[in-house]
Structure 1
């Protein structure tokens, strides 16, 4: 392996910086969930990004590639791990805002826009390489589905638990 092969480029730098900042924020936020719930939210974020990236990136779709090679490598795995905290932040922020009948719709919509903005930053850094006519707004339905499923997890598995039980497990 030559020195050139070990140079960190913009997509890898994006993954490192975003991942470190996200996990630091997660670590320093006041705890609102049990370890199991936190771990599950991290898995949801990582798994869903892996699932959709591997679905949309392969034949017959082949709409984009992730990172520098068409093959799964270390940086692809780190990029999936990097997305874990975003599902945690999504649920965490929902637990601290005031809610009414329309909050759910607007909250999901705002986070879908945040997700698209984050994807645009990742695309600009070279994490994603669009092809075959794919455009960023094609990701909107995916984000809406993912955020809705994550909210279902919150509604059915976290919200139903009394608050004192959530923090002491």
Structure 2
């Protein structure tokens, strides 16, 4: 009975555990950003996730469902917020590496792979249910674009306001 419940609610457990762990990690790390910058990073991350997930989940695309139903519910919102610390950690670790021309390419590539692995884990937990021929690697160009835009945002706005 308990095992059956855990299997049927794996997506909710995943959202709670990963979300709590990600936010805990974010707040345990030494602070490098202002509260306004942190809120902006969380909003940027949640916005991109919400934008692409809701765009790719509806007609004419309808490539996957999020969580248990094709309808938006509280768990969908929590899944958008769960990945909020992704941008924070992306920028946080970027500020601690030595930068040169190849650093940008490799750093974005590594984080795109981290994003694919995160999506794979979420898929295994039934957060995403692909349909209509969608494959996980189709998300890679989206991750590369979003990470590049996020890094440009950091370089041109956040760093400028220090």
1:161 to partner: Cα distance: 2.8
Gaps of 5+ in 1: 163-169
Tell me what 1:112 maps to: 112
Distance 1:37 1:14 in 2: 27
1:45 to partner: Cα distance: 0.7
TM-score with structure 2 setting the length: 0.94
Instruction: Give the length in aligned residue pairs.
Output: 158
Gaps of 5+ in 2: none
Distance 1:8 1:27 in 2: 31
- In the TM superposition, structure 1's runs of 4+ consecutive aligned residues that sit over 2 Å from their partners are none
TM-score with structure 1 setting the length: 0.90
1:8 to partner: Cα distance: 6.8
**RMSD value over aligned CA atoms?**
1.5
Distance 1:99 1:161 in 2: 19
Distance 2:20 2:39 in 1: 17
Tell me what 2:17 maps to: 17
Distance 2:48 2:150 in 1: 10
Distance 1:108 1:58 in 2: 28
1:106 to partner: Cα distance: 0.5
Secondary structure of 2:18's match?
Answer: helix
Tell me what 2:53 maps to: 53
Distance 1:8 1:16 in 2: 15
After the TM superposition, which residues 1-169 of structure 1 pair with which residues of structure 2 at under 5 Å, given as runs?
9-162=9-162
